Amino acid sequence: MQDEPTPIELTKAVADFLRNDITPLISGHQAFKLRVAINILDLVTRQLTQEEGCDAKEVERLRAQLGMDGSVADLNRALADRIAKGEIDLATPGLAEHLWATTMDKLAVDQPNYASYKRELGRGG
Amino acid sequence: MIEPQLGRIVSSWHAGAFGVANSKRLSGGASQETWSFDIMHPDGLAGAILRRAPQGYGAAPTRAAGLAAEAKLMQLAFEAGVPSPRVLYVLRPEDDLGTGFIMERVEGETIARKILRDAKFARARPKLARQLGEVLAGLHRLPLSKLPELRSRSATQEIGEFERDYRSLNWPKPVFELALRWLRDHDPGPSAETTLVHGDFRNGNLIIGADGVRAVLDWELAHLGDPMEDLGWVCVNSWRFGEIDKPVGGFGTREELFAGYEAAGRRVDPVRVKFWEVMGTLRWGIMCGGMMQRFREGPDHSMERAMIGRRASETEIDLLRLLAPRGS
């Protein structure tokens, strides 16, 4: 077991430093790059916070849908294959709900301010 | 720097000019550069833009029409009255500037979010969806006989090409698989008519002024195909920049776009437009995957490219909204 602070806390500390202390000192193209860098650190923080819980739920849904076990990557590959072969489609019970839940969890990490995501969140997640 | 080379040739395409100044790099990756500069003339300065691939970067990626074709298309568009910058000069090998061309600089805004939010475009915005229809009608009417050599793609070929691109990424995405199935099931077949297709006609690739569309830019993905492709692409949600209830670039409705197109004497097939919107959404998602790959394998190891890889999920939610919408 590693010591603390946790990666989440460390990443957040760097992002806050760049945001609060460095941003006022920089302009032009470098300021744009700095904003991108801060966005990356914020994304990483969200992923470190949310990934474990989301992946566990995703694996649970995928096991039920596919009737098999494996890592989240293996199970996604298997689902992709079955959709490609036409064995599973939107008429298959549970598929649309699974894809919606998985996609909403991704957007929560990648782009929580994306307008389509916010609209769908308003429908109850 | 590019000023010494430009200074040597400027008088050959701008009579009386004695030099260039204020050159600055605007955008682009390693293989394609855009520069802004001013032509110095006794009557004053004239704004110009250089688009070029530096030496050693001549080979265009397979989907790109190439800079020479781009120059020819922009000039044809300009002559036909489609809003476009006038092309001033096509680079020659002895100019020592790589391959590319020089065009007039058109004043206006290209940054989509500014166009959608700044007060100075408030009067133009409500007119833009219809105007984009009119512009596309003009573009689709450019005579095939005058066009440079371009790749030709039917819907069926495009699906196959995207599937190959997607599989080559080794990036299993159930939502993309679903979209590929949907596209195959809804392939509208060959279009009744083959025209020039701009290929990247969207908010962000247009110069907009207070009066409306001033120029159509970024012709590098131009090809021959189904004209409805351009009408579908301009509606892809990623190009609405948050204004998701205004499908045409965040400006207005499909009905306005279609009305502008038809008023200019061309017919719209809404089913085909919807097909191309789904295709376009998947296309942008696969392009995001391509960015991820280029970031990972180099040569462009930039943060921006890395973050575009993380935009693939926006196309997944938009594909689900198109193909498996959840109540209202």
Structure confidence by residue, pLDDT tens digits, B115-155 = 999 999 999 999 999 999 999 999 999 999 999 999 998 99
3-state SS string for chain B: CCHHHHHHHHHHHCCCCCEEEEEEEEECCCCCEEEEEEEEECCEEEEEEEEEECCCCCCCCCCCCCHHHHHHHHHHHHHCCCCCCCEEEECCHHHCCCEEEEEECCCCECCHHHHHHCHHHCCCHHHHHHHHHHHHHHHHCCCHHHCCCCCECCHHHHHHHHHHHHHHCCCCCHHHHHHHHHHHHCCCCCCCCCEEECCCCCCCCEEEECCEEEEECCCCCCEEECCHHHHHHCCCHHHHCCCCCCCECCCECHHHHHHHHHHCCCCCCHHHHHHHHHHHHHHHHHHHHHHHHHHHHCCCCCHHHHHHHCCHHHHHHHHHHHHCCCCC
Chain-chain contact of A111 with B311 (C-beta, under 8 angstroms): yes
Cβ–Cβ contact B75 with A under 8 A: no
Chain-chain contact of A115 with B244 (C-beta, under 8 angstroms): yes
Cβ–Cβ contact A33 with B under 8 A: yes
Say how many C-beta atoms besides its own lie within 10 A of residue A47's C-beta.
Answer: 18
| φ, ψ at B225 (rounded to 5°) | 175, -150
Cβ–Cβ contact A39 with B under 8 A: yes
Cβ–Cβ contact A118 with B under 8 A: no
pLDDT score at B56: 58
pLDDT score at B29: 57
Cβ–Cβ contact B111 with A under 8 A: no
Mean pLDDT across chain B? 93
Distances from the Cα of B162 to the Cα of B159, B279, B283, B318, angstroms: 5, 9, 7, 17
B187/B162 Cα distance (integer angstroms):
14
pLDDT at B58 over 50: no
Report the pLDDT averaged over residues B174-189.
97
pLDDT score at B54: 72
Chain-chain contact of A99 with B304 (C-beta, under 8 angstroms): no
* Tens of pLDDT, residues B277-313: 999 999 999 999 999 998 998 877 889 999 999 999 9
By CB neighbour count within 10 A (0-12 exposed, 13-18 middle, 19+ buried), where does A55 fall? middle
What value of ipTM does the predicted structure carry? 0.96
Q: Which of A44, A90, A116 to mutate to test the interface with B (most CBs of B within 10 A)?
A: A116
Q: Scan residues 268-307 of B and list those with Cβ closer than 8 Å to A.
A: 303-304, 306-307
Measured between CB atoms, which of A39, A77, A117 is closest to B172? A77
Largest CA distance in chain B: 65
Looking at per-residue pLDDT, the higher value among A4 and B30 belongs to A4
Measured between CB atoms, which of B181, B306, B311 is closest to A83? B181
User: What's the whole-model pTM score?
Assistant: 0.93
pLDDT score at B12: 87
Query: What torsion do the CA atoms of B307, B313, B319, B324 make, to the nearest 10 degrees?
Result: -160
Confidence of residue B187 (pLDDT cuts 50, 70, 90): very high
DSSP state of A88: S
Largest CA distance in chain A: 57
Confidence of residue B274 (pLDDT cuts 50, 70, 90): very high
Gap from B288 CA to chain A (nearest CA, Å)? 13
Q: Which of A78-87, B57-66, B174-183 has the lowest mean pLDDT?
A: B57-66
What SS3 class is residue A1? coil
Cβ–Cβ contact A103 with B under 8 A: yes
Report the pLDDT averaged over residues B29-39.
82
Q: Which of B320, B321, B322, B323 to mutate to test the interface with A (most CBs of A within 10 A)?
A: B320
Cβ(A15)–Cβ(A43) under 8 Å? no
Confidence of residue B53 (pLDDT cuts 50, 70, 90): confident
Confidence of residue B62 (pLDDT cuts 50, 70, 90): low
In chain B, what residues touch A104 (CB-CB under 8 Å)? 317
Measured between CB atoms, which of B175, B303, B304 is closest to A99? B175
pLDDT score at A125: 64
Mean pLDDT across chain A? 96
* Tens of pLDDT, residues A101-112: 999 999 999 999
Chain-chain contact of A104 with B323 (C-beta, under 8 angstroms): no
Residues lower than pLDDT 70 in chain A: 125
Confidence of residue B26 (pLDDT cuts 50, 70, 90): confident
pLDDT score at B60: 44
Looking at per-residue pLDDT, the higher value among B29 and A73 belongs to A73
B65/B196 Cα distance (integer angstroms):
12
pLDDT at B59 over 60: no
By CB neighbour count within 10 A (0-12 exposed, 13-18 middle, 19+ buried), where does B259 fall? middle
The closest alpha carbon to B134, from B79, B191, B188, B80, belongs to B80
| φ, ψ at B126 (rounded to 5°) | -65, -15
pLDDT at B57 over 60: no
